[in-house]
Chains A and B, each alone.
Chain A
Amino acid sequence: MLVYVIRRVGYMIVALLALTLITFFLMKQAPGSFLTINIMQSGLQTSGHSSYSMDVLQEWSERYHIGEPWYMEYWGYLKGILTWDFGTSFQYPNTPIMSLLVKAFPISLGIALSSIILGLLISIPVGIFAAMRRNTWADSGAMFFSMLGTSIPAYILAVFLIMVFSLYLHWLPSMGWRDLKNYVIPVLALALPMTGSMSRYMRTSLVENLNKDYATTVIAKGGSKRDVIYRHVLRNSLIPLITIIGPHLAGMLMGTVMIEFMFGIPGMGQLFNNAAGSRDYPLIMVSTFLYTLVIMVMNLLVDIIYGLLDPRIRRSGMSD
């Protein structure tokens, strides 16, 4: 187990290094990138960067050793990440990037996590329901709705939710970010598409376990279908569900970029979106790195929890 974790962490570091290299070179190629201009030689006003604060540009050119070979520039970028000191961005010359992130990140993570929890709370009962009434209208109905969920993205669902809850019922605000009411539609919009594939997965996993010998034994001993599911099969079927939380979290964090834009939520997605829109390269580089870090750490945690819960994998030392 320990060996497995160490190997995974090592692999994660390699992947993150690859990501920083790729973003660095992409940013270096980007039009009007601060990585390509030499402030000492060309006037800022002429290069169209009049909107940038002179101090910030000065700071970045020193930080990234502009004008020196690329590996020195890259090292400047890497050093910022390693020392967890991200400097200031072009858009907000008076606030360090770190304090922007500290404000924005908990909002996005909160939305993503509550959506996943809500998604699980919906999809587990739906999966059980469909598996218990397998091959009936109830099963096919539940699976039809899960199909709807998988094929419609969160931002389209958000439109319909706004239509119902804000336009016709006047229950919830259509956008903004003040109180708990603002939470509801974004979280629902992110959670419902996820329940599609999750309840399907839950159903398949339950059906698979119901066909196994131990389930047959329970029925042979006189247990009811309810007994089999709630006391024996459910526990074994929940474990594989954990594995798909990781990939879903990644998708969810990407979904928040669009949902935060639609609802005007001041989270990470909005921050990244603004940075990309105004070509705030330092902020783009840092937030891309942070997004990837969070997604990879989450995936690692999910895999470790999975290993701890499933004794078969725990013993085999997680060779995969």
Chain B
Amino acid sequence: MSTPVSLDLHGTDLPDMKLRKNSLWRMRFQIFCRNKIAVVGACFVLLLVICALFAPWITPYSYEKGSVLEAFEKPSLAHLLGTDAIGRDVFSRLIYSLRNACIVGFGAQLIELTLGLFIGAIAGYVGGRTDSILMRVVDIVYGFPSFLLSIILIILLGHNIWAVLIAVAATSWVGMARVVRGQVLTVRQSEYIDAARAMGANWWQILTRYVLPNSMGPVLVAAAFGIPANMMVESGLSLVGLGLQPPTPSWGSIIADGQKGIFSYPYLLVYPSLLFAITLLSFTYLGDGLRDAFDSREA
């Protein structure tokens, strides 16, 4: 017969628990740091965001005004990446298009996260008929040709950056809702949820304190991959002339302009494309690193 051991754990347990909570995040951080390319990607993303935030102070020239006398100048110290057909500084235009891409990329992701968390969590947690109705709606939107729907929405809302942001978010929140719902469905079956319910927690407490925090990993990863995808759509729309209207700069319209003079002025096309490709790549590697860090199977 085992005697009930009364250890005074109260003194020792608390700091121990605190340490353990810390060490999960520390472990994830260590796994993330092991992926060197992901760290480089993260640093570059940080640099880009800083550039986008402080665009007015970084850019040496205006993005919309140029001098015709300085048209088609080759890259030099005065104009780092040269000037375009009407003498505008390409470097300044690129920084501003980065700013616009970031507004759409992050802003649309914020809307997607909000909508996705709300609908996904309700569908996954409530289940039953609510779940099947919500998921039917999600399936229908998912099946639409998203790019066309974005274009139609932009025609409706006008060709400004907020219209582009809404048009991008309106078609891509369904992916996030699916991820959240899947996560909530798995987490809901865990024993600690049963334990919380047995302790008398109501559904709101269970959802916000236990289910959602434990579903965050894949949701964060999906969000990290969603940002470059939003940027791609934004510049794709501008590329075909249906996104941001000139003189507002966007990577897409800069590339479309550069393509016109490709044989005479290839630098107008190469540098913007390269920078865009590197931007998208660093976001992807950041997402990849996050996936490694949050995926317990591979850890």
Interfacial residues, chain A to chain B (CB-CB below 8 A): 14-15, 18-19, 22-23, 26-27, 29-31, 147-148, 150-153, 155-156, 159-160, 162-163, 166-167, 174-175, 250, 253-254, 257-258, 261-262, 272-273, 276-277, 279, 284, 287-288, 291-292, 295-296, 299
Contact = CB atoms under 8 A, between A and B. Distances in A.
A258 to B, nearest CB: 5
B259 A159 contact: yes
Contacts of B241: 261, 273, 277
A206 B151 CA distance: 39
B15 interface: no
Contacts of A295: 143, 145
24 contacts: A14-B140, A19-B140, A26-B152, A147-B285, A150-B284, A151-B281, A151-B283, A152-B277, A155-B252, A155-B255, A156-B277, A156-B280, A159-B258, A159-B273, A254-B146, A257-B148, A257-B240, A258-B240, A262-B239, A276-B155, A287-B148, A288-B145, A291-B145, A295-B143
A287 B149 CA distance: 11
Interface of B: 139-140, 143-149, 151-153, 155-156, 228, 232, 236, 239-242, 252, 255-256, 258-259, 262-263, 266, 269-270, 273, 276-277, 280-281, 283-285, 288
Contacts of A156: 255, 273, 276-277, 280
Contact of B143 (A23, A166, A292): A292
B140 A152 contact: no
Nearest to A162: B262
A15 B155 contact: no
A276 B240 CA distance: 10
A160 B266 CA distance: 11
A159 B147 contact: no
Contacts of A277: 241-242
Contacts of B145: 250, 253-254, 288, 291-292, 295
Contacts of A163: 262, 266, 269-270
Contact of A261 (B146, B239, B269, B281): B239
Given A14-B140, A155-B255, A291-B145, 7 more contacts: A19-B144, A30-B156, A155-B239, A156-B277, A159-B269, A250-B145, A254-B147
B7 to A, nearest CB: 44
Contacts of B152: 23, 26-27, 30, 276, 284, 288
B209 to A, nearest CB: 33
Contact of B147 (A150, A257, A284, A299): A257
Given A257-B147, A261-B240, A160 B273 contact: yes
Contacts of A27: 152
9 nearest A-B pairs in the assembled complex, by CB-CB distance: A151-B284, A254-B147, A159-B273, A261-B240, A291-B145, A153-B232, A15-B140, A151-B280, A288-B148
B227 to A, nearest CB: 11
A29 B156 contact: yes
A30 B163 CA distance: 13
